[in-house]
Structure 1
Amino acid sequence: MTLLSQNQAPIMEALTRYKSMRVVPFDVPGHKRGRGNLELAAFLGEQCLSMDVNSMKPLDNLCHPVSVIREAEELAAQAFEAKHAFFMVNGTTSAVQAMIMTACTAGDKIIMPRNVHRSAINALIISGAVPVYVNPGLHSELGILLGMSLGDVEQAILENPDAKAILINNPTYYGICSNLKALTDLAHQHNMLVLVDEAHGTHFYFGDDLPASAMSVGADMASVSMHKSGGSLTQSSFLLINNEVSEGYTRQIINLTQTTSGSYLLLSSLDISRKNLALNGKEIFRKVADMAQYTRDEINKIGGYYAYSKELLNGDTIFDFDVTKLSVDTRDVGLAGIEIYDILRDEYDIQIEFGDIGNILAYISVGDRQLDLERLVAALAEIKRRYAKDKNSVFDHEYINPQVALTPQKAFYAPKTNVPLSESAGHISSEFVMCYPPGIPILAPGERITEEILDYIAYCKEKGCFLTGTEDSDILTINVVKEHEQ
């Protein structure tokens, strides 16, 4: 076996060798290195299109890697201290789904927080696994959902000793971390697999003084969005496995849904970004943390806004905080987060990650400049001066405990009828309603619709949240389970 070094990027190196060979392409893709689509080549560049190639012997095959992709997987596993790492080109969505489908089959229970990304509930629809929801904590002043309480999870395990796995969000969109080590140890004591959605935690593996990563505490599987804080191209991610999780079976599960035409642009971006983080990650994320802290301090000087950090820690539902996250509560300015999101984009040409009812999130990375940070702070100060209102005008949203009437799969595939959303209270939803981003469902298939939920949806609409999930693109009607099927 060849001794591999983190200085290597096997996929990139193989692509470079292949390009130098000047092979005549009688295979797909049909643009033939850009010559067959000159407008695309002019837009994306000849170098980019020359690397957009198909699987072949010198470049390996993502579905069954034996050479350069295999080597790149081994290097990624070493970098993340995992048993194995899979290259994912269908986004972290496919990694989350592969985790759940590896751990659970139809009818198996899985314990998870209700504030999961839609990809997790989609996996339940596909697989037929049954959710056991643990309601997350709620920070009453900030209006943000927190991690899972260790006591709540223990209660869920005792009530469902036959559950196969537990899924943990770590960190949340806002940077909140659960007690990952204690939750992992607790689940393992009851012979349950631990699956961690680390979509926003790539940097935990490479930075100093950051929260614990899934692999470092002995979790069994983790989905990692390299394209978020890791620097790779959008839609590229890693799925990590550990302990006794079968590499072969996990790959079979991945191959059920992942494309057989893996993009070498995405694969090489994962390979190059892993190399960069393995060699330079500590320095990179120290700079990111410093930039986030500087911006937090400056925003908090404005007044009205609250850019929060580790002062929130409570030893349980906020066990740790990701200091690279710039999460800001906006309610004391009298504006919903989504309103500030829109103003920043429309009037200041500043695009932040998302705004919800009470908060905004600005994603900070090593690609940001000091001038950009100062521009954001100045814009927020001016928005407060121009637009501030009575803070009581902002909806004081409490977490709505879901009333689960049917499993997601049964509700999604059940005979259904379409009703006006305004008249749907009392029915069981057969589809999602969610704000995107972050993609956490307000309503999921199998949950009973209540007036409280409808009021919240109406408020989100009024404030300009981008609502998705229903067949009706205007979110005026909703599919519900026919009454005789309930």
Structure 2
Amino acid sequence: MRQIINLTQTTSGSYLLLSSLDISRRNLALRGKEAFAQVVKLADYAREEINEIGGYYAFSKEIINGDSVFDFDRTKLSVNTLNVGLAGIEVYDLLRDEYDIQIEFGDLGNFLAYLSIGDRPREVERLVSALSEVRRRLSEVRRRFGKPDAAGLMRQEYIEPEVVLSPQDAFYAEKTSLPLEETAGHVCSEFVMCYPPGIPILAPGERITERIVEYIQYAKEKGCSMTGPEDPDIRRLNVLKGVY
């Protein structure tokens, strides 16, 4: 196998790839503005159709406020799912596993799909149809069992940290490992991040609260990828010894 690979591989750049990149560059140079105008038009159409379903919120430039949001890339189809009764990552999994639609990612409250010059209206129609069916199926199940639409969903996406020590001081301080459920009130000595979006839930030197513990448990339950701690399953966290 190694000999065959050595016969067919090269350290030189692939000229098929290089030529395709040059053709793409030429196409964008000559027709890029027109092509992306069509992408924006398709994305706006997708937002209108998704918002017509009900429950989903495909947001766009209306969120620009000149303060925390200065602009918005309309080719990125960002959709809030909480009013449907599902976390964004759950919709992401359903689209991939049951409808063969691969989107960019899902987090606790949203999913993100990219639109490009390679997408056509029929792909958008497939996505809209799948989202409509997901909502219909979920509504039927909830009516049958008498459950409210958004039961048990966590809407808070960011928890303001209480910084007790600098990250450097916390990193070099004496540590101990505790079960996650017993860490509330202690000062964390490692990063805890939920991907996506990859923003730290905890950083070294920040105090762990009951809300943060609940957030971590909720993210794990929903299937989010958690990174940072020494324990990859985040059953335990490293905290500082002593009282701070």
Q: Is the 8 A contact 2:86 2:150 kept in 1?
A: no
Residue number in structure 2 paired with 1:355: 106
TM-superposed deviation, 1:413: 4.0
Residue number in structure 2 paired with 1:391: 149
Distance in structure 2 (CA, Å) of the matches to 1:290 and 1:441 = 35
TM-superposed deviation, 1:282: 2.7
Q: What root-mean-square deviation, in Å, do the aligned CA atoms of Structure 1 and Structure 2 show?
A: 2.7
SS at match of 2:150: helix
Q: Is the 8 A contact 2:43 2:74 kept in 1?
A: yes
Residue number in structure 2 paired with 1:38: 4
Residues 205-254 of structure 1, C-alpha deviation per residue, up to 9 Å, x if partnerless?
xxxxxxxxxxxxxxxxxxxxxxxxxxxxxxxxxxxxxxxxxxxxxxxxxx
Assess, with a 3 A threshold, how the Cα gap between structure 1 residues 481 and 281 changes in structure 2: closer, same or farther. farther
Match 1:299 to one of 44, 47, 50: 50
The AA in structure 2 aligned to 1:455 is E
User: Where does 1:229-378 land on structure 2 (aligned, <5 Å)?
Assistant: 272=21, 275=25, 279=29, 281-378=32-129
SS at match of 1:321: coil
The AA in structure 2 aligned to 1:38 is I
Assess, with a 3 A threshold, how the Cα gap between structure 1 residues 287 and 473 changes in structure 2: closer, same or farther. same
Assess, with a 3 A threshold, how the Cα gap between structure 1 residues 383 and 392 changes in structure 2: closer, same or farther. closer
Distance in structure 1 (CA, Å) of the matches to 2:70 and 2:27 = 26
SS at match of 1:422: helix
TM-superposed deviation, 1:326: 0.4
Distance in structure 2 (CA, Å) of the matches to 1:483 and 1:440 = 27
Is residue 213 of structure 2 the alignment partner of residue 458 of structure 1?
no
SS at match of 1:377: helix
Residue number in structure 1 paired with 2:232: 473
Count of residue correspondences = 230
The AA in structure 2 aligned to 1:431 is E
Assess, with a 3 A threshold, how the Cα gap between structure 1 residues 37 and 411 changes in structure 2: closer, same or farther. farther
Distance in structure 2 (CA, Å) of the matches to 1:482 and 1:425 = 13
TM-superposed deviation, 1:420: 0.8
User: Where does 1:378-417 land on structure 2 (aligned, <5 Å)?
Assistant: 378-388=129-139, 389=142, 390-393=148-151, 394-397=153-156, 399-417=158-176
Residues 292-321 of structure 1, C-alpha deviation per residue, up to 9 Å, x if partnerless?
112111111211111111122323222322
Residues 20-71 of structure 1, C-alpha deviation per residue, up to 9 Å, x if partnerless?
xxxxxxxxxxxxxxx9553588xxxx5xx43x35xxxxxxxxxxxxxxxxxx
Match 2:187 to one of 415, 419, 428: 428
The AA in structure 1 aligned to 2:124 is L
TM-superposed deviation, 1:377: 0.9
Distance in structure 2 (CA, Å) of the matches to 1:337 and 1:465 = 10
SS at match of 2:178: strand
Residues 148-184 of structure 1, C-alpha deviation per residue, up to 9 Å, x if partnerless?
xxxxxxxxxxxxxxxxxxxxxxxxxxxxxxxxxxxxx
TM-superposed deviation, 1:386: 0.6
Percent of pairs with identical residues: 58
TM-superposed deviation, 1:408: 2.5
TM-superposed deviation, 1:477: 0.5
Residues 118-167 of structure 1, C-alpha deviation per residue, up to 9 Å, x if partnerless?
xxxxxxxxxxxxxxxxxxxxxxxxxxxxxxxxxxxxxxxxxxxxxxxxxx
User: Where does 1:23-172 land on structure 2 (aligned, <5 Å)?
Assistant: 36=2, 38-39=4-5, 46=8, 49-50=9-10, 52-53=11-12
Assess, with a 3 A threshold, how the Cα gap between structure 1 residues 278 and 375 changes in structure 2: closer, same or farther. closer
TM-superposed deviation, 1:283: 3.6
Distance in structure 2 (CA, Å) of the matches to 1:444 and 1:416 = 14
Distance in structure 1 (CA, Å) of the matches to 2:27 and 2:192 = 37
Which blocks of at least 5 consecutive residues in structure 1 are unaligned? 1-34, 54-263
Q: Is the 8 A contact 2:192 2:229 kept in 1?
A: yes
Is residue 206 of structure 2 the alignment partner of residue 447 of structure 1?
yes
Which blocks of at least 5 consecutive residues in structure 2 are unaligned? 143-147
The AA in structure 1 aligned to 2:70 is F
Q: Is the 8 A contact 2:189 2:239 kept in 1?
A: yes
Relative to the length of structure 1, the TM-score reads 0.43
TM-superposed deviation, 1:351: 1.8
Assess, with a 3 A threshold, how the Cα gap between structure 1 residues 414 and 387 changes in structure 2: closer, same or farther. same
Q: Is the 8 A contact 2:109 2:157 kept in 1?
A: no
SS at match of 1:391: coil
Distance in structure 1 (CA, Å) of the matches to 2:174 and 2:121 = 55
